């Protein structure tokens, strides 16, 4: 590591770097660390009381610098920010990023490496684990010791407590919804130091295996689906992409994110990034409203931890209305036609 000298931010030498034990692999966008990555820092708190955390950011240009400054002050557990500025790391491709994690681990000998369980972490962490010859523990929802973790299995129908018995580092992906960060939790009196990772030994090996082509994302002002307080979801019951606009209008009025079932995504009503469930996003908002969603277990796997679930379905026997001793899905259920209920809601709700 080369100390970060020429900026006003405090710098620190490489010797301190060796004392730290947890590395968080962070994703950033628009000059800020993503909330899901701050949750990964929060999760690190549970590994041990005196655990201090290094956060690793990579990319290139001014937005990386801005994100590093944000990282330096976004959570009290962060002891230092490791910044890797290189054109080779401009895009989050698994090959170069996994090699970066490998390089940083070889220098820092961390006991744990954590990433949020989104497409970024799921893409990079397993490859980095293979390079480090360890087996990662994925989708952790609870940490009950430095090597004991709870994770869902069978599409969330059972929780499994696992003991990590492999060698260091213990690598984890965590579900960010299980480690929320309250705004009051992340106040800190001074910024953590920012260090630059020495990439002189990084090389080109394996770089040709994947190539960045383009990124397309919805240009929307709506809250991020993974962290929204309210989510309005539409299923196959919406019947067409055109009808799905009603769900989007309702979400706009409620300041909510839009979600969808896999059936709605497969039918082409909405893009795949809105899918909630076992093979989509995991959400746990304060309020989850589902229209025309049957409640298949693969969908429930992505939303069952929502605080309040409201379901509108014309079939009173739909599984989303199920109430057994083991499982209750909807807290409030309305048996009705969504083509009547949504327009009525749109009419009655005030403009935002």
- Site residues (CB under 6 A) for ligand FAD? 235-237, 261-264, 275-280, 292-294, 296, 298-299, 302, 312-315, 318, 337-339
Cβ 144 to ligand FAD shortest distance, Å = 27
Q: In this structure, what is the dihedral angle of CA atoms 170, 172, 178, 182, given to the nearest 10 degrees?
A: 80
Residue 286 in tokens: 């304060």
Cβ 4 to ligand FAD shortest distance, Å = 42
Nearer CB in complex with ligand FAD: 114/293? 293
The rounded Cα 45 to chain-centroid distance in angstroms is: 17
Q: 293 with 235: CB under 8 angstroms?
A: yes
Nearer CB in complex with ligand FAD: 4/269? 269
Nearer CB in complex with ligand FAD: 92/280? 280
Residue 295 in tokens: 């409640």
Cβ 136 to ligand FAD shortest distance, Å = 21
Burial 130-143 (b: 16+ CB within 10 A, else e): ebbebebbbbbbbb
Cβ 275 to ligand FAD shortest distance, Å = 5
Side-by-side strand order, sheet with 257-260: 257-260, 230-234, 287-291, 308-313, 332-335
Cβ 118 to ligand FAD shortest distance, Å = 14
Residues in the chain: 352
Nearer CB in complex with ligand FAD: 3/334? 334
Nearer CB in complex with ligand FAD: 109/272? 272
Nearer CB in complex with ligand FAD: 68/260? 260
Q: Give CA–CA dist 291/334, Å, rounded.
A: 10
Cβ 84 to ligand FAD shortest distance, Å = 33
Cβ 233 to ligand FAD shortest distance, Å = 9
Q: In this structure, what is the dihedral angle of CA atoms 337, 342, 344, 345, given to the nearest 10 degrees?
A: 130
Q: Which residue is nearest to ligand FAD (CB)?
A: 277
Question: What are the C-alpha distances in Å from 85 to residues 62, 68, 203, 207?
Answer: 10, 10, 14, 16
Nearer CB in complex with ligand FAD: 98/296? 296
Question: What are the C-alpha distances in Å from 225 to residues 14, 37, 181, 183, 204?
Answer: 38, 15, 16, 19, 36
């Amino acid at each position: 590591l080369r100390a970060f000298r020429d900026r006003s931010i405090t710098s620190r030498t490489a010797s301190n770097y060796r004392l730290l034990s947890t590395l968080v692999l962070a994703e950033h966008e628009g000059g800020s660390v993503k909330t899901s990555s701050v949750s990964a820092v929060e999760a690190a708190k549970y590994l041990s009381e005196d655990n201090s955390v290094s956060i690793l950011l990579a990319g290139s240009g001014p937005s990386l610098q801005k994100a590093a400054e944000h990282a330096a002050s976004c959570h009290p557990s962060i002891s230092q920010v490791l910044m890797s500025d290189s054109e080779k790391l401009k895009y989050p491709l698994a090959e170069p990023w996994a090699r970066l994690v490998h390089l940083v681990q070889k220098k820092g000998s961390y006991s744990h490496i954590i990433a949020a369980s989104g497409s970024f972490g799921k893409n990079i962490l397993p490859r980095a684990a293979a390079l480090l010859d360890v087996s990662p523990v994925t989708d952790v929802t609870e940490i009950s010791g430095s090597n004991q973790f709870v994770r869902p299995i069978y599409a969330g129908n059972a929780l499994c407590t696992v003991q990590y018995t492999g060698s260091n580092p213990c690598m984890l992906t965590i579900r960010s919804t299980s480690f929320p960060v309250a705004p009051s939790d992340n106040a800190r009196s001074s910024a953590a130091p920012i260090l630059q990772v020495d990439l002189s030994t990084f090389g080109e090996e394996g770089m040709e295996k994947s190539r960045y082509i383009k990124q397309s994302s919805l240009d929307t002002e709506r809250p991020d689906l993974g962290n929204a307080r309210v989510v309005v979801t539409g299923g196959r019951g919406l019947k067409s992409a055109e009808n799905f606009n009603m769900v989007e209008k309702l979400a706009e009025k409620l300041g909510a994110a839009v979600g969808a079932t896999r059936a709605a995504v497969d039918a082409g009503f909405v893009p795949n990034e809105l899918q909630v469930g076992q093979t989509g996003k995991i959400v746990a908002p304060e309020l989850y409203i589902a229209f025309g969603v049957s409640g298949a277990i693969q969908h429930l796997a992505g939303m069952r931890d929502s605080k309040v679930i409201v379901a509108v379905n014309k079939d009173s026997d739909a599984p989303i209305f199920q109430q057994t001793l083991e499982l209750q899905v909807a807290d409030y259920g309305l048996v009705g036609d969504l083509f009547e209920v949504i327009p009525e809601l749109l009419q009655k709700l005030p403009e935002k």
